[in-house]
Amino acid sequence: MERVVQQTDYDALSCRISAIYKGYLPSPCYQLAKCGYMGYKEIHMDYINGLKHVSRRIHGKVTRTLQSSYPVMNYGTYLRTVSIDLELNGILSKIGKDQRVQILDLGGGSDLRMVPLLRNYPNLKFVDVDYSESTKVKSKALWETQGLREFLKLQEPQGDQLVRSDRYELISCDLNDLNQTSVKLDKVTDADVPTIIITECVLCYMTQDASQKLIEYLINHYKSGHWVSYDPIGGSSENDRFGTIMQANLRDSRNLEMPTLMIFNSKEKYANRFAPLQTSIQDMWELFNKIPQDEIKRLKSLQFLDELEELKVMQTHYVFCKSQWGNV
């Protein structure tokens, strides 16, 4: 199961590189204007070059996607990435640059959002957590990429820490094992510091029991914080077959399960997993319809999108959920 889920990270990286290559990311309207994500494309291209030295197989898998880059997928990646980036920067701006804060990116895989965030917020500490195979690949790719290695000020590995620095940690952990997770996080985080937790297509691959125990542990362990989660939902209307088709496709193509896809199959049910926290949730189609017209015009200029109804169907089955606790 671990290896199968790990492959989904390379899918996400492929989609992100495709969206960058086609010009969807970084967004001048959002990431550059509001988040200060300068050098965004260069960071990712450098990482891909570093990845080539680590695994030609993974590098080939990622770069092959560029030749079959469908607009509906690029739009989805754009929405997913920009929404999370805007939310993180909004939270960090409210906390302020003078206050210590930490981000836990659970199951973050090859994501590189720690670089612009660490650059923009000097009192931020960023902790990446993922399966051991994913962290091994990422750590080697970071070491192979001079610009990222120097920016993060990577120090020689120590114990089971493949990558470490004063402000960035990359730790291997199975989030399904709560004992292991709690012990490892205790070593690199401070429960008294405001904490932002990211789960981006992570909870959907965990069982209901394991994911609820993880949520309850973290919101009780850290005194104050925000939880930002992005996940698919199966759909709750009687004639909605999105979830059942998605599950069947994953089983047939990858022998992969999403145990809670049809349990938390609506926005309301998904938000309830964070009860009793103060929580708000939207599907991604709602967020798409809030994009300014100038930005929509820019997106349309990148690729011709003739599958608007398909985009709507897909994005109404992905949710963006925000929860908050404590005095932060």
Give the separation between CA 52 and CA 209, rounded to whole angstroms.
38
Which pLDDT score is estimated for 106? 98
Residues 51-57: contacts with CB under 8 Å, at least 24 apart: 51/110, 51/137, 51/141, 51/144, 53/140, 53/141, 53/144, 54/137, 54/140, 54/141, 54/144, 55/137
Q: What is the pLDDT of residues 6-17, one digit of tens each?
A: 678 888 999 999
Integer angstrom CA distances of residue 154 from 51, 101, 143, 286: 17, 20, 8, 40
Which pLDDT score is estimated for 147? 94
Which pLDDT score is estimated for 284? 98
Given pLDDT bands bounded at 50, 70 and 90, which one contains residue 43?
A: very high
| Range 220-230 average pLDDT | 98
| Mean pLDDT for all residues in the chain | 93
Q: In what helix (H) or strand (E) does residue 44 lie, and over which residues does it extend?
A: helix 40-54
| Range 100-112 average pLDDT | 96
Q: What is the pLDDT of residues 145-173, one digit of tens each?
A: 999 999 999 987 766 667 889 999 999 99
* Structure-token pair, residue 307: 């599958």
Residue 307 burial by Cβ neighbours in a 10 Å radius (0-12, 13-18, 19+): middle
Residue with tokens 């990622």: 62
Which pLDDT score is estimated for 163? 82
More confident residue, 314 or 237: 314
Which pLDDT score is estimated for 61? 84
Which pLDDT score is estimated for 87? 98
Which pLDDT score is estimated for 66? 73
Report phi then psi at 323, rounded to 5.
-130, 155
Asked if pLDDT for residue 118 goes beyond 60, the answer is: yes
Q: What is the pLDDT of residues 178-202, one digit of tens each?
A: 999 999 999 999 999 999 999 999 9
The pLDDT > 90 percentage for the chain reads 79
> Looking at domain 2-325, which CATH architecture does it have?
3-Layer(aba) Sandwich (3.40)
Given pLDDT bands bounded at 50, 70 and 90, which one contains residue 328?
A: confident
More confident residue, 65 or 30: 30
The alpha carbon of residue 58 and the mean position of all alpha carbons in its chain are separated, in whole angstroms, by 19
Asked if pLDDT for residue 218 goes beyond 70, the answer is: yes
